[in-house]
Amino acid sequence: MLHTYFEKTVWIREQHQSIWVIILLVALTSSAQAQTPTWTQRASVGPSPRDTHAMAFDSTPGEIILFGGRYPANNETWRWTGETWTQIFTSGPSPRYFHMMAYDSNRDRIVLFGGMRDGVPGALNDTWEWDGTAWNEKHPAHFPSPRLNAAMVFDSVRGEVVLFGGYDNSFTLFDQTWVYDGNDWAERAVSGPSVRQGCKMAFDSARGKSVLFGGSTVVFTFVAANDTWEWDGTMWDQKFPLGSIPIARAEHAMTYDSSRHQTILFAGLDESYNRLSDAWEWDGNRWNQNPNSGPPARHEHAMVYDDSCARIIVFGGSNSFNGGPPQYADTWDYTLDADNDGVADACDGCPNDPNKTAPGVCGCGVADTIGFVGFLPLIGGADATGGSFADPLRAFKLGSTIPVKFAASCGGSAVLTGIHTLQAIKYSSAVDSDPAIDATPTDAATTGNQFRLTDGEWHFNLSTRSGFSTGTWKLIATLSDGSTHYVWITIKK
């Protein structure tokens, strides 16, 4: 795992939309280089003011999908590409709010469950999936009863969506834990957090834990909680954090920043119906409050992590104690920007170049050279340490899937953008006996022979079922700057 550290955070406001972006700096700068956080305002036209909507980040196209919200309940689907909002006119789930969404990175599908529709009884329990183009309703054999305002995340370690809590039409609160594997829902008969609604979760992929915080233990007479729990796929474990903790709240938002290995919590509603505007980070042992000021106080907003630029996006929400108007529709960026040029470091070709001629353009207009950190296990090595024809680094079985991964840096920052491709050449008698072939992936999340970004690393699940034969092979990664890097492997029966 490539570890990066951050020394600067900047909130940037984007006018007209209620999007807040925490772009977390991926730079190894010294304290002398650290900059004071700055606000930058941008203009963007998109969804109308709303709350109780849901969002998820689809890593394949690198975009955020927003669905639904109120008032009134709607069934709009919107796409955020990092700069602009675009409405997608398509059929799909019925108008709703207080529904739950999570991105299944294993299957490249956004999963939507339940929520509330206008009218009585209004709670829903249908399951839908977004495939990047259209919504498709699923019909699993088993499923949770109708509910809304529950918490839901995707556990990428175990390959399943996790749902907890919520309440139904009769205002019955739940303490049930359900999981969805893409085919069916199953309830896990376990003890854990008390019944609640308005709680939130985020999946910590580095530790393999779903983190849950807060919620209200009643529906209308607001009784907020501030307990922290973690789900490991088998059982719930209550955590007792060191130091200060966030005040009790519900209808906040949480997401996991995979580049910094922190769970982020933002805003919400406390027991006195005060709207909150604080941001906290959970590292598995302690909550730490971010001292930087940011968006106005709100609750019933949505927040997701944008893996393509290592940033967190917050959209919408309400500044009314019981939801609804006044609602937000302004757009903000919370940006870590080492050279203060308005371009997020994770998406800046040269974040630490003092000779920069324009935002995002390196000195003399020449992009920084990408530093190839190396292929990661299971293969490992690269170039001079990547083995040889006579001494391949690793052996794999013909027909198997080979996890090819690498990490790279540029200007002291992790490379999180660009098109990087994989090819393979079979060798015989120390010379290439066949032309290079484009690698074929086994997962739908990969486009052509391009690597895909996952948790700060570039991944390619290489299929050896077609086009490969036993013998010695050279795997070649071509990076977006044109540089090539190789490793030798053996394919055996």
Q: Quote the pTM value.
A: 0.70
Per the prediction, the chain carries an average pLDDT of 83
**pLDDT recorded at residue 28:** 32
pLDDT band at 439 (very low <50, low <70, confident <90, very high): low
Phi/psi at 368 (nearest 5 deg)? -60, 145
The DSSP symbol for 345 reads: G
Q: Is the pLDDT confidence value at 178 over 60?
A: yes
CA-closest candidate to residue 231, choices 205, 215, 211: 211
Q: What element of type H or E holds 288?
A: strand 287-290
| Residue 437, strand partner residues | 424
Do the Cβ atoms of 26 and 310 come closer than 8 Å? yes
**pLDDT recorded at residue 1:** 27
DSSP for 89-137, written as a single string:
----SPSBBS-EEEEETTTTEEEEEEEE-SSSS-EEEEEEEE-SS-EEE
By 3-state DSSP, what share of the chain in percent is helix, strand and coil, each rounded to 5? 0, 45, 50
Rounded mean pLDDT of 277-288?
94
421: exposed, middle or buried (Cβ count in 10 Å: 0-12, 13-18, 19+)? middle
- Lowest pLDDT segment from 112-116, 363-367, 381-385: 363-367
CA-closest candidate to residue 82, choices 106, 50, 105, 57: 57
Rounded mean pLDDT of 401-427?
82
Nearest-5° Cα angle at 197, 192 to 203: 60
**pLDDT recorded at residue 358:** 64
Q: Is the pLDDT confidence value at 438 over 80?
A: no
Rounded mean pLDDT of 48-69?
94
Find where tokens 């209550």 sit: 238
Rounded mean pLDDT of 163-177?
97
pLDDT band at 73 (very low <50, low <70, confident <90, very high): very high
Q: Is the pLDDT confidence value at 13 over 80?
A: no
Task: Give the integer Cα–Cα distance in Å for 355 and 365.
Answer: 9
Cα-only R_g, the chain: 23
43-to-38, 50, 160 alpha-carbon distances in Å: 17, 18, 37
Do the Cβ atoms of 352 and 346 come closer than 8 Å? no
Q: Is the pLDDT confidence value at 12 over 50?
A: no
Do the Cβ atoms of 151 and 201 come closer than 8 Å? yes
Question: How many CB atoms neighbour CB 435 within 10 A?
Answer: 8
Kindly report, residue by residue over 473-489, the tens digit of the pLDDT: 999 998 877 788 989 89
Do the Cβ atoms of 480 and 418 come closer than 8 Å? yes
Three-class DSSP category at 73? coil
Kindly report, residue by residue over 203-258, the tens digit of the pLDDT: 999 999 999 999 999 997 789 999 999 999 999 999 999 999 999 999 999 999 88
Task: Give the integer Cα–Cα distance in Å for 61 and 122.
Answer: 34
- Lowest pLDDT segment from 52-66, 342-356, 430-444: 430-444
426-to-230, 289, 450 alpha-carbon distances in Å: 47, 54, 20
Pairing of strands 224-231, 457-463: unpaired
Pairing of strands 437-438, 236-239: unpaired
| Chain centroid, CA 403 distance in Å | 21
46-to-84, 135, 221 alpha-carbon distances in Å: 8, 20, 34
pLDDT band at 350 (very low <50, low <70, confident <90, very high): low
Do the Cβ atoms of 216 and 223 come closer than 8 Å? yes
Domains of the chain: 11-337 (2.120.10.80), 371-492 (2.60.40.10)
- Lowest pLDDT segment from 4-18, 142-156, 354-368: 4-18
Task: Give the integer Cα–Cα distance in Å for 309 and 324.
Answer: 31
Q: What element of type H or E holds 336?
A: none
Task: Give the integer Cα–Cα distance in Å for 193 and 232.
Answer: 14
Do the Cβ atoms of 393 and 379 come closer than 8 Å? yes
Do the Cβ atoms of 115 and 53 come closer than 8 Å? no
**pLDDT recorded at residue 352:** 63
Task: State both tokens at 202.
Answer: 């985020």
Q: What element of type H or E holds 205?
A: none
What is the sign, positive or negative, of the torsion defined by CA atoms of 456, 261, 310, 32? Answer: negative
**pLDDT recorded at residue 33:** 33
Q: Is the pLDDT confidence value at 60 over 70?
A: yes
Rounded mean pLDDT of 192-196?
98
Phi/psi at 112 (nearest 5 deg)? -120, 135
